[in-house]
Amino acid sequence: MTVMTYARAINRALAEELERDADVFIMGQDVGAFGGAFGVTRGLQERFGRRRVFDTPISENFLVGGGVGAALTGLRPVVELQYADFIAVAMDEIYNKAAKWRYMHGGLFSVPLVIRAPGGLAGGAGPEHSQSPEGLLLSAAGLHVVTPSTPADALGLLKSAVRSSNPVVYIEHKGLYGLKGEVPDGEHLIPIGVADVKREGTDVTIVAWTSMVHRALAAAETLAAEGIQVEVVDPRGVRPLDTDTILASVQKTGRLIVSHEAPAPGGAASEVAAYVAEHALDYLAAPIQRVCGADIPIPQSSDLEQYAIPSVDDLIRACRSALSYR
């Protein structure tokens, strides 16, 4: 085990996969010598050369669509959107091309493309540079969407994404880049679509993604002092969704809180809530609660933006409310 940051773990995953497979290449704005807008690709061009790691114009439609074209013809592109919000800019390429090309052409192709997209709040980046748009891809049949919350997950999920024969959108959280954590030293792969129980508990389940996993853990810590055992489940993605792990947890605790930075409408929390309401109704001892971002665009002010996403207190309150229900 080595302690490293989330950003460093992504960098390591890229380096390992570039090293392992000559068909892997990286393209995006400023990913080359500059090392990426957030420093995540630092050193990769120097090490692997300009053929393997290179800058592109500000052309997100090409970036993703070009990635599809390269993937269809035998390569394994890893493209970087500078902000996850730009998923909307390249939505047709992601939603209608990357996701559907294989299916609509009768299964004759595979599309081993990875789209890295930094999401989440970043200290005043505003309504078009702070979103967590994974919910926009919930219905993108053909696509996988993963969302690491720790350095180890960042490493293992990205390596699996690069090796997948399917297009994978890898949404990394900008606010977590500096987060340190233990990472296994050897080859570390995490299967796509498998949730991780980040903390075991018996009284209430919090299903949370990326930054909210950490707030959920903080809430769990506080509540533990009161004897309340919170289970924190990190689905590590939204498509596929590991409903088995979620269901098992809810069947144990009987109480479900679902939490992400994105607003509830159209978010993965709604998906989890709906699924549980379909499949575990009788286990529920309290109403499901979605503790999610406010249903507003994200304000630019770095003070105010914090109020657009759930706090640790919001989660604590929700847990208490679930436990005191009826």
Ligand X SMILES: Cc1ncc(C[n+]2csc(CCOP(=O)(O)OP(=O)(O)O)c2C)c(N)n1
Binding mask 238-277 for its own copies (x = CB under 8 A): -x-x--------------------xxxxxx-xxx-xx-xx
DSSP 203: S
Query: DSSP alpha helices (H): ranges in 101-242?
Result: 101-104, 151-163, 210-224
Token pair for residue 66? 């070009």
Stretch that binds its own copies, among 1-9, 29-37, 94-102, 227-235 (CB under 8 A): 94-102
Binds 198, which of other proteins, ligand X, its own copies, none (CB < 5 to 8 A, cut-off by type)? none
Parallel, antiparallel, or unpaired: how do β-strands 256-263 and 204-208 relate? parallel
Q: Per CB under 8 A, which region of 16-24, 32-40, 44-52, 131-139 contacts its own copies? A: 131-139
Please say which residue, 198 or 290, places its beta carbon nearer to its own copies: 290
Site for ligand X contains 130 (CB under 6 A): no
Which is nearer to its own copies, 69 or 126 (by Cβ)? Answer: 126
Q: Could you tell me the two tokens for 98?
A: 């990357």
Residue 67 vs 112, nearer CB to ligand X: 67
CB neighbours of residue 86 within 10 Å: 23
Active site residue 173: no
Strands 168-173 and 196-199: unpaired
Find tokens 């990875």 and name the residue: 114
Burial class (CB in 10 A: 0-12, 13-18, 19+), 197: middle
**Can you name the residues that pair with 239 across neighbouring β-strands?**
145
Contacts of 274 (CB under 8 A, 6+ apart): none
Q: Using the rule CB under 8 A, is 58 a contact of its own copies? A: no
**Residues marked as catalytic:** 129
* Footprint on this chain of its own copies (rule: CB under 8 A): 85-86, 88-89, 91-92, 95-96, 99-100, 103-104, 126-128, 135-142, 239, 241, 262-267, 269-271, 273-274, 276-279, 281, 284, 286-290, 295-297, 300
* Footprint on this chain of ligand X (rule: CB under 6 A): 29, 58, 60, 82, 86, 89
